[in-house]
Amino acid sequence: MQVTLNVKRYDPEAADPTACFEEFRIEAESHFTVLDGLIKVREEVDPSLAVRCSCRASICGSCAMRVNGHAALACKTKLSTSLHDGAVSVEPMGNQRVVKDLVTDASLFWGKIRAVEPFLQPKGPEPEEEYIASNDAMLNLITPMGCIMCGACVSDCTVLEVDKNFLGPAALAKAYRFVGDPRDEADADRLSTLNEYGGAWDCTRCYECVQVCPKGVAPMDRIMELREAIQRAGLPSTIGSRHVDSFARSVARSGWLDETLLAVESWGKFNVPKLMASAPVGIRALVRGKLPKGGPLHHKRPGAKNVERIFRRLEHAPSTLAAVASKSGSAHD
Partner 1 sequence: MAAAHDKIKELKERYAKLPVAHKGAVYNTDLIFHIELGYMLDAAETICASGLVRKESRGAHYRRDIPQRNDEEWLRHTTAVLEDGAARIGTLPVTITEWQPEARVY
Interface residues with partner 1 (CB under 8 A) are 11-13, 42, 47-48, 50-52, 99-101, 103
Distance in angstroms (rounded) separating the CA atoms of residues 213 and 124: 37
Is the CB of 38 or the CB of 262 nearer to partner 1? Answer: 38
Is the CB of 103 or the CB of 212 nearer to partner 1? Answer: 103
CB of 20 to partner 1, least distance (A): 17
Distance in angstroms (rounded) separating the CA atoms of residues 148 and 261: 42
Within 8 A by CB and 6+ apart from 55, the residues are: 62, 75
CB of 42 to partner 1, least distance (A): 7
204, 162 contact by CB (below 8 A): no
CB of 161 to partner 1, least distance (A): 24
Is the CB of 103 or the CB of 217 nearer to partner 1? Answer: 103
Within 8 A by CB and 6+ apart from 260, the residues are: 282, 291, 292, 293, 294, 295, 298
CB of 64 to partner 1, least distance (A): 16
CB of 50 to partner 1, least distance (A): 4
Is the CB of 42 or the CB of 249 nearer to partner 1? Answer: 42
How many residues are given for the chain? Answer: 333
Is the CB of 49 or the CB of 137 nearer to partner 1? Answer: 49
CB of 214 to partner 1, least distance (A): 23
CB of 39 to partner 1, least distance (A): 10
The residues that bridge with 4 in the sheet, in sequence order, are 25, 87
Burial, 255: exposed, middle or buried (Cβ in 10 Å; 0-12, 13-18, 19+)? middle
Within 8 A by CB and 6+ apart from 193, the residues are: 116, 199
Is the CB of 50 or the CB of 145 nearer to partner 1? Answer: 50
Across the chain, how many H-helices and E-strands are there? 16, 7
Distance in angstroms (rounded) separating the CA atoms of residues 107 and 113: 10
b (16+ CB within 10 A) / e for 201-235: bbbeeeebbbebbbbebbbbbbbbbbbbbbbebeb
CA dihedral 294, 299, 301, 304 (to 10 degrees): 90
